[in-house]
Chain A
């Protein structure tokens, strides 16, 4: 195991976060605060409680998930796309680091940032709405698992993308709609029966539901299924990453 190699990548990426602190940390915190002001306080005060939870509190897990998904993907995809774009990837490819070590460094750093961000948003939220976490361990577990899974997903997008448009395509056209329609801001029980069924095809629903359960013990789908879905998605991402490195797809040809 090339520990120094993994650490080098990890430190490099974390240093990049420090340099871009405004973009990495401050801007998600500001946009989350805006959500709370608009949905939590202004509109939320007109909405009745959902499963015994005030609307302002209800949207906290969904909002954290929304940020977690988009930030994990954008951090990880950019971190591997940029070296490809400017050409510094030559060094990574010629270094004695295994694919596993490369992924560990990049995805580890992206996931670390996302988890930190999730926790910062959680703290920010606690200034706006009363919050209690029923299952802190599971809350953290969902947070970390989702961060890792979607950082890996972002890593795959970063390798697949050969221009900036593609880099934005999946997050913008797929992930954001799925995140909004995955029950971040509502419970699917509010939907007509047909749309409830259609919503079950949305993978993000399971993440939000499981995460929300760890806060309020209210859920759209059973928490076991949520956990199973996220592990399944993680396995798929690991599989694709393995294939990418095995074939050298977009990297070595």
Chain B
């Protein structure tokens, strides 16, 4: 996959001296879904805003499909649709009117078929003649997405698209994003919900205090940084871990019924076979066992903790 967006040495300082972005380099590939993860104030929205032209960068460059986003801004912006974090809508407009406005603003002639398709895909068709102020929060969120899609962009930025949205609607949004990907649209989303990135992203970029600390294929990231745990449910409780098993770094639960072994997925010798043999030798019997892999959330928390 070729790079559709290239960000190089991007920095942004807000007056008087808050550095929101520090020398950020990031390539975004055509057709992928990239999740931009980071705690509050990490610089996610600033990064998106600079790419879309809402905020001026202090230094560095952004190219979209080979065009510079400052000198060739018309060409780059035509390709991009942006869904902002806040529910900012023109309350007194109807849904259709606001879509027509957005489409025009992005340089496209009126096209009722496209607007109809977009509205239907977001289940807004029944609301097309309603004033936006009469819609629920979730519906307004859909209107914002519909506006961003009204000019048929190749790239869609979703800034916290599912913040404050109920579970059902969130799942629906994911379906929409997947459909967009199937149509070849590149999607960049920022999110607090790591579950979201885990569910739909191809790649994950973690940003913290204005710096990208990791960019990796989601699966690769989870494989690389993920830990796996093997837990044994004991037949009789233990008071302490026998000295013969000290090398394994086992964790005994407070009630003494559960013994947990943490190992590296990538290690050549994981030590499971040896551990099981040593358990038998030490006379420890167990009724059941289970394995657990760390989630993206745990990886994220440890990365951010490490970086700060």
Nearest-neighbour CB distance to chain B for A18, whole angstroms, equals 11
Chain A residues numbered 40-97 whose CB sits less than 8 Å from any CB in chain B: 86-88, 90-97
Q: Are the C-beta atoms of B88 and A88 separated by less than 8 Å?
A: yes
B residues near A5, Cβ cutoff 8 Å: 104-107
A residues near B109, Cβ cutoff 8 Å: 4
Judge whether B172 is part of the interface by a CB distance below 8 angstroms.
Answer: no
Out of A8, A15, A19, name the residue touching B105 (CB < 8 Å): A8
Q: Are the C-beta atoms of B82 and A94 separated by less than 8 Å?
A: yes
Q: Are the C-beta atoms of B53 and A94 separated by less than 8 Å?
A: yes
Judge whether B56 is part of the interface by a CB distance below 8 angstroms.
Answer: yes
Q: In whole angstroms, how far apart are the Cα atoms of A252 and B101 in the complex?
A: 22
Q: How large is the interface on A (under 10, 10 to 19, 20 to 34, 35 or more residues)?
A: 20 to 34
Q: In whole angstroms, how far apart are the Cα atoms of A252 and B58 in the complex?
A: 12
Contact with B along A80-123 (1 / 0, CB 8 A): 00000011101111111110000000000000000000000000
Judge whether A2 is part of the interface by a CB distance below 8 angstroms.
Answer: yes
- Known contacts A93-B53, A96-B74; is-contact A86 B106 (Cβ 8 Å): no
Q: Are the C-beta atoms of A4 and B52 separated by less than 8 Å?
A: no
B residues near A252, Cβ cutoff 8 Å: 54-56
Contact with A along B156-169 (1 / 0, CB 8 A): 00000000000000
Contact with A along B79-105 (1 / 0, CB 8 A): 010101010111111000100111111
Q: Are the C-beta atoms of B104 and A96 separated by less than 8 Å?
A: no
A residues near B218, Cβ cutoff 8 Å: none
Judge whether B77 is part of the interface by a CB distance below 8 angstroms.
Answer: yes
Contact with A along B175-190 (1 / 0, CB 8 A): 0000000000000000
Q: Are the C-beta atoms of B104 and A8 separated by less than 8 Å?
A: yes
Q: Are the C-beta atoms of B74 and A2 separated by less than 8 Å?
A: yes
Q: Which residue of A lies closest to B100 (CB)?
A: A8
Chain A residues numbered 1-58 whose CB sits less than 8 Å from any CB in chain B: 2, 4-5, 7-9, 11-12, 15-16, 19
Nearest-neighbour CB distance to chain A for B103, whole angstroms, equals 8
Q: Are the C-beta atoms of A96 and B106 separated by less than 8 Å?
A: yes
- Known contacts A96-B78, A253-B56; is-contact A91 B147 (Cβ 8 Å): yes
Nearest-neighbour CB distance to chain A for B96, whole angstroms, equals 12
Judge whether B15 is part of the interface by a CB distance below 8 angstroms.
Answer: yes
Q: Are the C-beta atoms of B90 and A88 separated by less than 8 Å?
A: yes
Judge whether B108 is part of the interface by a CB distance below 8 angstroms.
Answer: yes
Contact with B along A184-203 (1 / 0, CB 8 A): 00000000000000000000
Judge whether B73 is part of the interface by a CB distance below 8 angstroms.
Answer: yes
Select the residue from B78, B89, B101, B102 with max chain A CB neighbours within 10 A. B101
Q: Are the C-beta atoms of B102 and A94 separated by less than 8 Å?
A: no
B residues near A90, Cβ cutoff 8 Å: 54, 82, 84, 88
Q: Are the C-beta atoms of B82 and A8 separated by less than 8 Å?
A: no
Out of B54, B74, B93, name the residue touching A93 (CB < 8 Å): B54
A residues near B77, Cβ cutoff 8 Å: 94-96
Q: Are the C-beta atoms of B104 and A253 separated by less than 8 Å?
A: no
Q: Are the C-beta atoms of A94 and B55 separated by less than 8 Å?
A: no
Q: In whole angstroms, how far apart are the Cα atoms of A210 and B153 in the complex?
A: 50
A residues near B86, Cβ cutoff 8 Å: 87
Judge whether A130 is part of the interface by a CB distance below 8 angstroms.
Answer: no
Nearest-neighbour CB distance to chain A for B55, whole angstroms, equals 6
Q: In whole angstroms, how far apart are the Cα atoms of A111 and B92 in the complex?
A: 22
A residues near B107, Cβ cutoff 8 Å: 2, 4-5, 96-97
Nearest-neighbour CB distance to chain B for A125, whole angstroms, equals 32
- Known contacts A87-B84, A94-B53, A96-B107; is-contact A19 B101 (Cβ 8 Å): no
Out of B80, B97, B108, name the residue touching A94 (CB < 8 Å): B80
Q: Are the C-beta atoms of A253 and B55 separated by less than 8 Å?
A: yes
Q: In whole angstroms, how far apart are the Cα atoms of A9 and B88 in the complex?
A: 17
Q: Are the C-beta atoms of B54 and A94 separated by less than 8 Å?
A: yes
B residues near A92, Cβ cutoff 8 Å: 105
- Known contacts A90-B54, A90-B82, A252-B56; is-contact A4 B73 (Cβ 8 Å): no
Contacts beyond the supplied A7-B104, A94-B54: 15 A-B pairs with Cβ under 8 Å: A4-B104, A5-B106, A8-B100, A8-B102, A8-B104, A9-B105, A87-B88, A90-B88, A91-B102, A93-B54, A94-B77, A94-B80, A94-B82, A95-B105, A96-B74
Q: List 9 A-B contacts (CB under 8 A).
A: A2-B74, A5-B104, A8-B103, A11-B101, A15-B93, A19-B92, A86-B91, A93-B53, A97-B107
